[in-house]
Structure formats: structure tokens, C-alpha cells
């Protein structure tokens, strides 16, 4: 059974810091991994998709890496801003999309 | 191309009533997933459907819950005889499903069900 864990559960940092959010999964037989952002009381916004054959994807200040063999992914956020405050979720796809527990990020001015 | 549309956004039901949640996938998407998010908890998989077929319902409670995705029209998640524990946000996602490596799931804004 696939289990997805995210560390840390919560993070509070001053504006401008570079951040690393971690995601680990127990079954490496995945098609892809997706990072999402969820604002309080809102839906999910897709940030990045990494295929199982890829090592990383970049979008603006976001960079996600994937090490399938070790069951790990990291989301790197450069020069964090207060607008980045949200919950970040990773999810792996095999026969269905399984979500991690989430990292609640707060960036203060 | 409109995104995944869920309605209603908010739904209040009394205990014992039925709740119907609707999800219209993105244009060209034939795969739909339903998830439930309890307060302060993560997203839990409920059911995965393709047009007219239930592919995986391993996350659905055995009683009172059902889902369908007809050939025409939206996907429906139906909860009969609701109880307070059903209060949650229900999210729908869709994907084209043709190439799983590139399959990116897009989520709706969710339906927040409150049982009073």
C-alpha cells in the first residue's frame, strides 16, 4: 500500500528565505509525481508535474526534483514571499493519485 | 477551456437527507477522481471513474455512498442519509488519462458539505 509523507508538517519563515519541502513515498512504482498548492478554504492548484523518467521540473521560483529509486521528492522555493503562504501537497500517481500529509507554510514580511 | 467545475460550492443538509455533489470535468477529460478532505486532514481517495465505468472504489464507504459518471452529463457523488461525520470538503479532479506518464490532474474548487 502506497504511503506518502511530507516533512515538515509546518514551516514559518521570514520573507526572502529559500525553502525545501520534502515528500517521501513507499512504493517507487509510480507514473509521475505532482506538487499542489492549497489556500485555506480553496481548491488545489497544480504547481509542477514530474514524470517518473524525469529528475526535475522548474517553474519560476519553484523547482521540484524526483529520486524515484529512493522514494523522495523535494520542492525548492526560492526567495519566498508572503504570497507563497499556503499548504503544499505532493501526490504520486500509479492507479490513482495518492496524497501526502501536506506542509503548511507561512512566510511573514 | 473552463476548468473542473463543481457545484454546489456549499451544501447544507440535515441529518438523514441526501446530498448530491456534481463534477463537470475539463473538456476532453474522460477520467474523474473524487476525494474527501476532513477538517485539518489530508485528501483521501474515494473513487476513480471513467465514462460509464467505476475503475476503483476502494476508498468509498461501503454504505450510503455511490458515484457515477454517465456518458452524458457530470459525475455525481451521492450520499444518502447523511450524518454529521460526512461534513467535509469533497473535491473532484479530472485528467485525460490517455498517457499516464503525462497525466496531470486538475482539481475543482470543491463542495463543502455541512450536515446539521
Nearest CB to A43; choose among B42, B55, B107: B107
pLDDT at position B56, please?
92
Lowest mean pLDDT among A33-42, A93-102, B6-15, B94-103: B94-103
Residue A3 has pLDDT above 80, yes or no: yes
Nearest CB to A43; choose among B33, B100, B110: B110
Task: Categorize the per-residue pLDDT at A99 as very low, low, confident or very high, splitting at 50, 70 and 90.
Answer: very high
B103 in A contact zone (CB under 8 Å): yes
Residue B1 has pLDDT above 60, yes or no: no
CB distance B30 to B52 below 8 Å = no
Better-scored residue on pLDDT, B95 or A83: A83
Task: Categorize the per-residue pLDDT at B86 as very low, low, confident or very high, splitting at 50, 70 and 90.
Answer: very high
pLDDT at position B99, please?
65
CB distance A72 to A24 below 8 Å = yes
Chain A, residues 23-62, CB within 8 A of chain B, namely: 31-32, 34, 36, 41-46, 49, 51-53
Task: Categorize the per-residue pLDDT at A46 as very low, low, confident or very high, splitting at 50, 70 and 90.
Answer: very high
Contact B105 A91 (CB under 8 A): yes
Task: Categorize the per-residue pLDDT at B96 as very low, low, confident or very high, splitting at 50, 70 and 90.
Answer: confident
DSSP secondary structure, B46-93, as one string: EEEEETTEEEE-TTS-SSSEEEE--SSS-EEEEE-S--GGG-EEEEEE
CB distance A72 to A55 below 8 Å = no
Residue B4 has pLDDT above 90, yes or no: yes
Q: What is the mean pLDDT of residues B35-52?
A: 90
Question: CA of A45: which chain B residue's CA is closest?
Answer: B107
Task: Categorize the per-residue pLDDT at B98 as very low, low, confident or very high, splitting at 50, 70 and 90.
Answer: low
Contact B56 A36 (CB under 8 A): no
pLDDT at position B81, please?
98
Nearest to A48 by CA among A39, A36, A61, A30: A36
B114 in A contact zone (CB under 8 Å): no
Question: CA of B112: which chain A residue's CA is closest?
Answer: A41
pLDDT in tens, B67-83: 999 999 999 999 999 99
B46 in A contact zone (CB under 8 Å): no
Q: Which long-range contacts (CB under 8 A, 24 or more apart) does A2-8 make?
A: A2/A26, A2/A27, A2/A92, A2/A94, A2/A98, A3/A98, A4/A90, A4/A91, A4/A92, A4/A98, A4/A99, A4/A100, A4/A101, A5/A100, A5/A101, A6/A88, A6/A89, A6/A90, A6/A100, A6/A101, A6/A102, A6/A103, A7/A103, A8/A103
Residue B100 has pLDDT above 70, yes or no: no
Residue A9 has pLDDT above 80, yes or no: yes
A93 in B contact zone (CB under 8 Å): yes
Phi, psi of B85 (to 5 degrees): -65, -10
Chain A, residues 59-88, CB within 8 A of chain B, namely: none
Residue B101 has pLDDT above 80, yes or no: no
Round the average pLDDT of chain A to a whole number and report it. Answer: 94
pLDDT at position A95, please?
79
Phi, psi of A84 (to 5 degrees): -80, -10
Percent of chain A clearing pLDDT 90 (strictly above):
83
Nearest to A32 by CA among A56, A11, A58: A56
Residue A69 has pLDDT above 80, yes or no: yes
Measure the N-to-C terminal CA separation of chain B; round to a whole number of Å.
36
Q: How far is CA B90 from CA A23, A57, A90, B7, in A?
A: 24, 29, 18, 10
Amino acid at each position: 500500500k502506497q504511503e506518502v509523507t511530507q516533512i515538515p508538517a509546518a514551516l514559518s519563515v521570514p520573507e526572502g528565505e529559500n525553502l525545501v519541502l520534502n515528500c517521501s513515498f513507499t512504493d517507487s512504482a509510480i507514473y509521475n509525481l505532482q506538487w499542489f498548492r492549497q489556500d485555506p478554504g480553496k481548491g488545489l492548484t497544480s504547481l509542477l508535474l514530474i514524470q517518473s523518467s524525469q529528475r526535475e521540473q522548474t517553474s519560476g521560483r519553484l523547482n521540484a526534483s524526483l529520486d524515484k529509486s529512493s522514494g523522495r521528492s523535494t520542492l525548492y522555493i526560492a526567495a519566498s514571499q508572503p504570497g507563497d503562504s499556503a499548504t503544499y501537497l505532493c501526490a504520486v500517481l500509479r492507479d490513482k493519485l495518492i496524497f501526502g500529509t501536506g506542509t503548511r507554510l507561512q512566510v511573514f514580511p | 477551456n473552463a476548468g473542473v467545475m463543481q457545484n454546489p460550492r456549499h451544501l447544507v443538509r440535515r441529518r438523514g437527507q441526501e446530498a448530491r455533489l456534481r463534477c463537470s470535468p475539463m473538456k476532453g477529460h474522460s477520467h474523474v477522481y473524487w476525494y474527501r478532505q476532513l477538517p485539518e486532514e489530508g485528501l483521501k481517495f474515494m473513487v476513480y471513474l471513467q465514462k460509464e465505468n467505476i475503475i476503483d472504489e476502494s476508498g468509498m464507504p461501503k454504505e450510503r455512498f455511490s458515484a457515477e459518471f454517465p456518458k452524458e452529463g457530470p459525475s455525481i457523488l451521492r450520499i444518502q442519509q447523511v450524518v454529521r461525520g460526512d461534513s467535509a470538503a469533497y473535491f473532484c479532479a479530472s485528467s485525460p488519462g490517455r498517457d499516464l506518464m503525462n497525466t496531470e490532474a486538475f482539481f475543482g474548487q470543491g463542495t463543502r458539505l455541512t450536515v446539521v
